[in-house]
Structure 1
Amino acid sequence: MIGYQLVSEAAPARWLVDRIGEFGVDVRSVTPAGFEAYARLFHPAYLDGREVSWREVAEASGHVAHPGMQWPSITDSLRFLSHDDQPGLWDQPPDEGTLPAGPAQRLSAELARHTSTPDTCWYAVWDGFGGVPVPAGAARFEIPGRGMFLLRGTVATIAEAPPLDGWEQRPNLWWPDDRAWCVATEIDFMTTYVGGSAAAIAGLLAVPGLEICEVDPGTGIGFDGDTLNPRPAR
């Protein structure tokens, strides 16, 4: 795991375990409660290698782009979750369960400005990825619905280190040692959530190339969280 350091004690994650809520309810089910503000980052789709925003897809389909939108609702079908395409609009769906390389670089560069400990960052990885073996002696902990193991790096490691398995898999949770913010990419989601100070979230909203918006922490995170677009066809 080039760039990440193995740790043997899960103590740095205990605060997070105490603040993540019941699985599958709202933003605080994946990102710790108690932050001043929260944001949702939409992983881009692609067309011939070019990033395509969810807003583009929603508007092309006659739907509404908003903080709670869900990919099946703006594409009108569950079949677009992992395959198929919409010709001329996108030919590769958003990455699921991992933060893409471009957004990872932009996100980490801005978040490094909003912590006093950019040289110490903790990274947690779901222990169920078939291509990411859990290292012997790795520190492990549990959050609702997920077992995790812990690594250490710097805030820049998420962007600079190779993917964990050669298939673009990056850590699912990461936070600096001062706990100024926390980033969460749930394994079944095509989006990433961030909790932090109002200044940190405002900074992220101003980063070029990030499709990101502020979100209420009580917003639903399932398909039914999209209350403005129709439920997708099966």
Structure 2
Amino acid sequence: MWCHFVGGNLDQQALDIDEREISEYRGVPMCSPPQDPKLVRSHGMGVYSDTGRTVTVDGRIARVFELYGNWQSVNPPPFAVNDFASGPAVTACGADQPVPEFWSYADLLGDVSAGDWVRERIPRFGSTVSALVPDVYPTYLRLLHPAWTIRELDRDRSPVRWRILVDALGAVMHQTVAWGSMIEAGVRSGRETGEGSLWDASPTTGELPACEIVALATVLAEHTTTPDDCYFGFWEGRGFRGVPENHSRLTLPGRRHLLVRGSVCDAGRELQGFLPNIWWPADRAWFVASDVDLMSTYVGGATELANALYGEIELFEAIDSWRGARITWDCDTINPRAAGPHTHD
């Protein structure tokens, strides 16, 4: 079968594929409450989904396969074009509209000057919150990425909050609590790590779970005058394939980002299986940063926004922070320090 691929490492390639190599792929969103998995017909390591469309390539009719997401993605995106996975849904912002599809290469901005102010306010790569979020906000807070329990039979995951683990391990919850130090507190007190009984998988670095980023976008949309105009940056180190080396990037100290533009409600859309690392509305009312090395997401904004986020205790776990708070693995000065940054991954 003649196939034409769009996106990913096979972008714009036409290949003759054995029909037997086309398989059903069931992407399971890793969040709670569990969502219905999306079933697509796919081919390739990058999960290229059959769109049902055809195109003429080199005089032959080719079936179009478009990138659906990476196998390693923890949040496989819905594929709105495909009949298997499309359909109306109530979005985070309450509107009844089709499920948003993932970002494509056509969405990447060639002009990234909208991020110039971010570069001006983050002058250096450092070890504090101000190295992630511009130092222009009155209030900063930290969203703790959850740990997970996993049911062996179906691999469904349920989030485990840090506050639960702190109590069980005899640790102390505070503004710069670190995952490794919290677990180390349990080891030194004789309560062990809690792995296998309290949690099975440690928090994901670099991004909130998809369900939490959607919940966050719902709150943030109420605290900006430009909810339909928002910028999202994806760290280039994720290894996005097919993007020209000379394509415009927003260059911050130690990090370069591909930039796209949409509405606040687009925060849950993925680019090749990854969620955004930074995002902010056009009016700059707030700023969100999920650095690839951290198990926390940091938000800068107004005090009213912080209060709203603290109130959503069922949706995510928020604690106070400030622009000078340390963000490195050894930032915890209250709980015992682990031997190294990956001691209790």
Q: What TM-score comes out, normalization by structure 2 length?
A: 0.61
Aligned-partner SS, 1:226: coil
Task: Quote the residue 1:164 is aligned against.
Answer: 271
Task: Quote the residue 1:142 is aligned against.
Answer: 251
Deviation readout 1:118-138 (Å, 9 max, x if unpaired)? 1111011111112x2363474
Among residues 160, 169, 190, which one is paired with 2:295 in the alignment?
190
Q: What is the CA–CA distance in structure 1 between the aligned matches of 2:114 and 2:194, rounded to whole Å?
A: 41
Q: Which one-letter code corresponds to 2:283 in the other structure?
A: D
Note if 1:34 corresponds to 2:136. yes
Task: Quote the residue 1:81 is aligned against.
Answer: none
Residues 134 and 182 of structure 1: CA distance in aligned 2, closer, same or farther (over 3 Å): farther
* Maintained 8 Å contact 1:47/1:89: yes
Note if 1:212 corresponds to 2:318. yes
Deviation readout 1:76-132 (Å, 9 max, x if unpaired)? 29xxxxxx97011111111111221121011110000000111111011111112x2
* Maintained 8 Å contact 1:127/1:134: no
Residues 157 and 230 of structure 1: CA distance in aligned 2, closer, same or farther (over 3 Å): same
Q: Which one-letter code corresponds to 2:117 in the other structure?
A: W
Q: What is the CA–CA distance in structure 2 between the aligned matches of 1:111 and 1:37, rounded to whole Å?
A: 14
Aligned-partner SS, 2:207: coil
Residues 85 and 158 of structure 1: CA distance in aligned 2, closer, same or farther (over 3 Å): farther
* Maintained 8 Å contact 1:21/1:28: no
Task: Quote the residue 1:92 is aligned against.
Answer: 201
* Structure 1 stretch displaced more, 217-226 or 11-20: 217-226
Q: What is the CA–CA distance in structure 1 between the aligned matches of 2:226 and 2:286, rounded to whole Å?
A: 11
Task: Quote the residue 2:160 is aligned against.
Answer: 52
Q: What is the CA–CA distance in structure 1 between the aligned matches of 2:243 and 2:284, rounded to whole Å?
A: 25
Residues 73 and 134 of structure 1: CA distance in aligned 2, closer, same or farther (over 3 Å): farther
Residues 173 and 134 of structure 1: CA distance in aligned 2, closer, same or farther (over 3 Å): farther
Task: Quote the residue 1:129 is aligned against.
Answer: 238
Q: What is the CA–CA distance in structure 2 between the aligned matches of 1:100 and 1:3, rounded to whole Å?
A: 16
Task: Quote the residue 2:228 is aligned against.
Answer: 119
Q: Which one-letter code corresponds to 2:261 in the other structure?
A: R
Residues 119 and 3 of structure 1: CA distance in aligned 2, closer, same or farther (over 3 Å): farther
Number of aligned residue pairs: give it. 223
Larger strand fraction of residues: 2
Q: What TM-score comes out, normalization by structure 1 length?
A: 0.89
Displacement after TM superposition at 1:35 (Å)? 0.4
Displacement after TM superposition at 1:21 (Å)? 4.3
Residues 134 and 74 of structure 1: CA distance in aligned 2, closer, same or farther (over 3 Å): farther
Q: What is the CA–CA distance in structure 2 between the aligned matches of 1:67 and 1:200, rounded to whole Å?
A: 18
RMSD between superposed Cα atoms in Å: 1.9
* Maintained 8 Å contact 2:169/2:194: no
Task: Quote the residue 1:71 is aligned against.
Answer: 179
Aligned-partner SS, 2:264: coil
Q: What is the CA–CA distance in structure 1 between the aligned matches of 2:102 and 2:338, rounded to whole Å?
A: 40
Displacement after TM superposition at 1:216 (Å)? 1.8
Q: What is the CA–CA distance in structure 2 between the aligned matches of 1:134 and 1:178, rounded to whole Å?
A: 32
Note if 1:16 corresponds to 2:122. no
Deviation readout 1:157-179 (Å, 9 max, x if unpaired)? 112x2x3223xx21100000111
Aligned-partner SS, 2:238: coil
Extract unaligned runs of 5+ from structure 2. Answer: 1-6, 8-100, 151-156, 186-192, 341-345
Task: Quote the residue 1:232 is aligned against.
Answer: 338
* Maintained 8 Å contact 1:3/1:157: no
Larger helix fraction of residues: 1
Q: Which one-letter code corresponds to 1:23 in the other structure?
A: F
Determine which structure has greater relative contact order: mean sequence separation of CA pairs < 8 Å that are 6+ residues apart, divided by chain length. 1
Q: What is the CA–CA distance in structure 2 between the aligned matches of 1:226 and 1:27, rounded to whole Å?
A: 14
Deviation readout 1:138-189 (Å, 9 max, x if unpaired)? 4312111111121111101112x2x3223xx211000001110000000100
Q: What is the CA–CA distance in structure 2 between the aligned matches of 1:146 and 1:153, rounded to whole Å?
A: 22
Extract unaligned runs of 5+ from structure 1. Answer: 78-83
